Chains A and B, each alone.
Chain A
Amino acid sequence: MKRFYILLVGLLAIFAISIAPAVAQDPVTLTMWSRDSNQAFLRELVDMWNSSHPNQIDLTVIPAADFVTRVGVAAAGGEAPDLLPTDLIYVPSFARAGYLADITDFVAALPFADQLIPAHMFLGTYEGREYAVPFAAEGSVLLYNKGLFEQAGLDPEKPPTTWQEIHDAAVAIRALGEDTYGFYFSGNCAGCNAFTFLPYIWAQGADLLTPDGLTATVDSPEVRAALEFYQQMWNEGLIPAGAQADTGTDFLNAFTAGNIGMVGSGAFSISVLKNDFPDIDFGLTFLPGQEGGRSSFAGGDTISVTSSSKNVAAAFEFIQWVLSDEIQLSMFAARGQLPLRLDLADNEYSREDTRLITNAEAMGLGKTPYSFVYNQLYNDTTGPWLAMLQQAIFQGDIEGAVTTAQARFTEILASQ
């Protein structure tokens, strides 16, 4: 009888131990909101997670234009989702408003923590703590049409590495015909030019803001020089006249017609061009500085856990899974997306198309402005950034453009 009791207690103990972890880790359903760009890829990623993990993710896709509003309203009511992938430029504002959970310790425990895209990690840091990690990478580069380079007697394997070389190549290509132009940019698109024009300034070691994002440093010789570089190409007719009115609808379309020599663009264009415009033989190089050097705008999305989430650890498991070797290679690299880790930039897929390696490298050395008023400074079509470009390039008034922009930047920064 006594032996029976011992057996019984033993069995109960084993039973208790066996169910204990299950009790502690009841499967949870995590909510996730995302803007609608790139949603097909995201849905596939979430489906893959859901089919292989007990914790499920419930993904809601929100139109990009409504995204910040919806997040703001939900966070104010304490009803934000657990997982929040977002355009990285909003992370400083979200973190300052207290919407995001501090994930510093989780990030530190990742074996590849030091390999995560530095610009994304920089944007994810607020007052020394980390609130976001990379989720989608989009670095700006210079696209060039190899066919036109060849026709113009330029070496398609030696893309320009200085502003003078870009200018000279543009002159040579413009000479090919009435409808062939050397260069293109969307002259009425604020965001497009933050993405593709700021790197020329950064490559010079200059910037429009101090690193803490609090003081304007627009009025500098480097900024004037960069504006002059575009202004000269515009005055010489190397850029199609329609560029002045382009709100971004022609951002990549202009290049796909095959009569534009060079255009600033991003990683997304590689797959678009390869799939939809196989006739265009294009190369990809870094956005250079005046006499050399290089830079890139490290854009894309980061992902955060919100401060209202009751499942921070579970939510971070998904993030860790996304950043793992397996998913980075089999999902991201295999689909032509840039890997989110520097140590995976060189992989079996990118080796087949070295343009992807170039883009990943650009991403690695890329910068992103850290500002709580990024939207007002750079993204606003009525804002000071676009006004400066237009006044300098199309109206030829570099001096006035820079002075006005310095004043308006300072005013906006003081209002935050």
Chain B
Amino acid sequence: MGLAAFRTSSNKQGDSGAGASVGRRYVGLFFTLPAIIFTLVFFILPLGMTIFMSLHKWSLMGEHNFIGIQNYIDLLTRDSQFWNSLWFTTRYTLLITPAIFIIAFLLALLVNLPLRMIGVFRTIYFLPAVIGLGTSSLLWVWLLNDRVGAINAILKLLGLVDRPIIWLADPNYVMIAIIVSIVWKTVGFTMILLLTGMQAIPAELYESARVDGANYWEQLRYIMLPLMRRTFALALVLSVIGSYLAFDQFFIMTAGGPQNQTISVVYWIYKKSFTDFNLGYGASMSIVLLVILVVLSVIQMWLLRDDTTY
């Protein structure tokens, strides 16, 4: 029955552009229903709940009562740590995003070469991406350890340092250490995204460029890079959102230290919600972060907008 209805409606598609039948509209609804339900249950409802909570003094224990936009007022006027955290997270994002992109792009170029066994290398570079972030953070805590860590042992062996570096106790070293660990963890994923973009470019374009005498760098500059705009946009948005939502690495590797200098925004939301038991306030910070991320994503999409078709 459903199939028959579908067939009739798809037949009708050709004959009239103006008035699609009621039946066809229902079929459309039917096919999008799973996506609608999924979005409703796992995004719209929780979002509504979060907004609702953000307007309350909502303790993890005991009662909650409506306080209007007081949480937002407190956030804007009294919570300096939130703004410190936002600035810290922004700095972290500004440092880590180029690092990930440059390395991922170079790796993607490398594994795009038509060599035998190249799949093995793709797999190797991608492997860290399948490790849980919590697990990899703990792994790096031990790699960076001053007494038993491999990194200090290697540096000492190479004669680069006399005494072990306490990576996670100095604000500058912490940033380096965490960025290295996260690049290692996520670069494989960005590499795969960029590789997909590279392989989607039709080979004829390169061929005709070669016929016109373009060398490798010119092909890269004038064909590959411009045609990968959409892929870059996708990878960039995903990467920036991921960096802004950073939590595990700071929670596990530094616990916000040294001297509270590595508290990311999500870490601060976590602390307000589950250490101070102030869920309503945590919810209001989540909403503010959501707004910031939406704005940032729109700007990125606009900057990398692309109407090219081929």
A residues near B, CB below 8 A?
68-69, 72, 75, 93-94, 96-99, 179, 187-190, 240-242, 244-245, 247-250, 254, 257, 375-376, 379-383, 386-387, 390-391, 394
Residues from chain A with a CB closer than 8 A to the CB of B169 are 187-188, 241-242, 244-245, 394
- The CA of A352 and the CA of B80, in the complex, are separated in Å by 56
Distance A247 CA – B262 CA, assembled complex (angstroms): 13
Given known contacts A93-B61, A390-B257, A69 and B166 CB-to-CB distance under 8 angstroms: no
Contact in complex: A240, B146 (CB < 8 Å)? yes
Bound together, the chains give a CA A206 to CA B264 distance in angstroms of 36
Residues on A with C-beta less than 8 A from B141 are 247, 249
B residues apposed to A, CB below 8 Å: 60-62, 81, 138, 141-142, 145-148, 163-164, 166-169, 252-260, 263, 267-268, 271, 274-277
Report yes or no: B260 in contact with A387, Cβ–Cβ below 8 A: yes
A-B contact pairs, 7 of them (CB 8 A): A97-B61, A188-B168, A242-B145, A242-B169, A254-B147, A381-B257, A394-B169
A157 to B158, CA, bound (A): 44
The 6 closest A-B pairs by CB, nearest first: A242-B146, A245-B168, A381-B255, A245-B169, A244-B169, A97-B61
Contacts of B146 in A (CB 8 A): 240-242, 245
Q: What are the residues of chain B within 8 A of A380 when measuring CB–CB?
A: 271, 275-276
CA distance A188 to B171 in the complex (A): 13
A68 and B258 within 8 A (CB): no
Q: A72-B60, A380-B271 are in contact. List 4 more A-B contacts (CB 8 A).
A: A68-B277, A242-B169, A382-B260, A394-B169
Q: What residues of B have a CB within 8 angstroms of the CB of A248 in the complex?
A: 255
Q: How far is the CB of A95 from chain B (nearest CB, A)?
A: 10
CA distance A189 to B141 in the complex (A): 14
Distance of A187 Cα from B259 Cα, bound (Å)? 11
Number of A-B contacts (CB under 8 A): 99
Chain A residues with CB under 8 A of B147: 179, 240, 242, 254, 257
Do B259 and A391 have beta carbons less than 8 Å apart? yes
Find B166's partner among A190, A241, A381, A386 (CB 8 Å cutoff): A241
A247 in contact with B254 (CB, 8 Å) = yes
CB distance from B177 to the nearest CB of A (A): 10
CB neighbours (8 Å) of A381 from chain B are 255-257
- Cα distance, A416 to B239, chains bound together (Å): 39
| Other-chain residue from B163, B166, B259, B263 in contact with A390 (beta carbon distance below 8 A) | B259
Query: Is B167's CB under 8 angstroms from A245's CB?
Result: yes
Give, as a whole number of angstroms, the nearest-CB distance from B163 to chain A: 8
Residues of A close to B62: CB separation below 8 A: 96-98
- How far does the alpha carbon of A63 sit from the alpha carbon of B218 in the complex, in Å? 55
Nearest-Cβ distance from residue A178 to partner chain B, whole angstroms: 10
Q: How far is the CA of A386 from the CA of B271 in the complex (A)?
A: 15
Question: Using Cβ atoms and an 8 Å threshold, which residues of chain B touch A96?
Answer: 61-62
Kindly state the separation between the CA atoms of A188 and B146 in the bound complex, as whole angstroms. Answer: 15
Knowing A94-B61, A97-B62 touch, does A188 contact B258 (C-beta < 8 A)?
Answer: yes
B271 and A382 within 8 A (CB): yes
Contacting pair B276 A188 (CB below 8 A): no
Partner of A244, one of B142, B163, B258, B263: B258
Is the pair A376, B276 in contact by a Cβ cutoff of 8 Å?
yes
Docked complex Cα distance between A69 and B147 (Å): 37
Give the secondary structure class of B's interface: loop
Most B CB contacts (10 A, CB to CB) among A69, A379, A394 go to A69
Q: How far is the CA of A249 from the CA of B259 in the complex (A)?
A: 18
**Inter-chain contacts of A72 with B (CB < 8 A):** 60-61, 277
From residue A268, how far is it (CB to closest CB) to chain B in Å? 20
CB nearest to A66 among chain B residues = B274
Note all chain A residues with C-beta closer than 8 A to B81: 382
Question: CB within 8 A of B258: which of A99, A179, A189, A390?
Answer: A390
For the complex, what is the distance from the CA of A390 to the CA of B81, rounded to whole Å?
19
Chain A residues with CB under 8 A of B254? 188, 245, 247
Query: CA–CA, A380 to B263, complex, Å?
Result: 12
Interface centre among B81, B147, B271 (most CB of A within 10 A): B147
In the complex, chain B residues whose CB is within 8 Å of the CB of A75: 61
Residue of A nearest to B262 (CB): A382
Partner of A242, one of B164, B263, B268, B271: B164
Query: Which of B138, B255, B271 has most A Cβ within 10 Å?
Result: B255
- B175 CB to nearest A CB, Å: 14
Q: Which residue of A lies closest to B173 (CB)?
A: A245
- The answer to whether B256 and A382 have CB atoms under 8 Å apart is yes
Chain A residues in 8 Å Cβ range of B138: 249
Which residues of A are found within 8 Å of B257, using beta-carbon distances? 188, 245, 247, 381, 386, 390
A386 to B168, CA, bound (A): 16
Residues in B whose Cβ lies below 8 Å from that of A382: 81, 255-256, 260, 263, 267-268, 271, 275
Contacts of B256 in A (CB 8 A): 381-382
Contacts known (A99-B61, A247-B255); A68 close to B274, Cβ less than 8 A: yes
Please, which residue of chain A has its CB at the minimum distance from the CB of B274?
A: A69
Q: Specify which chain A residues have a CB less than 8 angstroms from the CB of B263 in the assembled complex.
A: 382
Tell me how far the C-beta of A361 lies from the nearest C-beta in chain B, rounded to whole angstroms.
33
User: Separation in Å of the A42 CB from the closest CB of chain B?
Assistant: 23
Contact B259 A387 (CB under 8 A): yes
Evaluate contact between B275 and A379: CB separation under 8 angstroms: yes
B145 to chain A, nearest CB (A): 6
Asked if B60 and A245 sit within 8 Å, CB to CB, the answer is no
In this complex, the member of B169, B254, B263 whose beta carbon has the largest number of chain A beta carbons within 10 angstroms is B169
Known: A244-B169, A247-B255, A249-B138. A376 touches B275 (CB 8 A): yes
Write the nearest CB–CB distance from B56 to chain A, whole angstroms.
13
B274 contacts which chain A residues (CB < 8 A)?
68-69
Q: How far is the CA of A195 from the CA of B142 in the complex (A)?
A: 24
Q: Report Cα–Cα, A391/B258, bound state, in Å.
A: 10
Known A381-B256, A381-B257, A387-B259; contact A242-B166, beta-carbon cutoff 8 A: yes
The answer on a CB contact under 8 Å between B255 and A244 is no
Q: A68-B60, A68-B274, A375-B276 are in contact. Are A241 and B164 (CB under 8 A)?
A: yes
Q: How far is the CB of B167 from the nearest CB of chain A, in Å? A: 7
Q: Please indicate the chain A residues that have their CB under 8 angstroms from the CB of B276 in the complex.
A: 375-376, 380
In Å, the complex CA distance between A310 and B99 comes to 59
Min CB–CB distance A389 → chain B (angstroms) = 11
A247 to B, closest residue via Cβ? B255
Which B residue's beta carbon lies closest to that of A254? B147
* Chain B: CB-nearest residue to A395: B259
B132 to chain A, nearest CB (A): 14
- Bound together, the chains give a CA A44 to CA B166 distance in angstroms of 42
Complex interface: chain B residues within 8 A of A241 (CB): 146, 163-164, 166, 169
